[in-house]
Amino acid sequence: MTGSSNYYRDPPRGPVEIPAAVLGCGILLAPLVVYTNAVLGSPLEQDTVKTILLAVCGVGTVLLVVGVWSLDRLWTYVLVLITTAIGVAALGAGIVLVIDSEIPGSDPAPIAIVWAIAYPITFVLVNRIGIRL
């Protein structure tokens, strides 16, 4: 079969790639959408946030299926992002302990800050330094 789609180039993996792409896009983009909404004071209802996330995941999946990005690259981003967020959170927790401060548990800003720092670090690690998994 001919075509530019990953699905058509590798038919046995196609049915597995689409759900994996949706899941990967969801993991990659959920913190961005959810915590942006939370920091802004939740102007959007949860159903609207879920709809936006699903639409963005659908667009991301289309980009993966037509071959703009590969599934391997997506999952590299996902794993590096999660690892980076854990590292940034641990560093932030250490700083909070050293300065003997408290952060209210209901405040979404600290978690949003962790993700806001983790996304650009992930971009640099994967695109500039060239981390591959």
**Torsion-angle region of residue 44: left (phi > 0), alpha (psi -120 to 50) or beta?**
beta
The number of beta carbons lying within 10 Å of the beta carbon of residue 25 is 25
pLDDT tens, position by position, 49-63: 999 999 988 888 888
13 pLDDT exceeds 80?
no
- DSSP-assigned letter for residue 14: H
pLDDT tens, position by position, 80-126: 999 999 999 999 999 999 998 888 888 899 999 999 999 999 999 99
Q: Is 83 helix (H, G, I), strand (E, B) or coil?
A: helix
Q: Which residue has the higher pLDDT, 48 or 133?
A: 48
Q: What is the pTM of this model?
A: 0.81
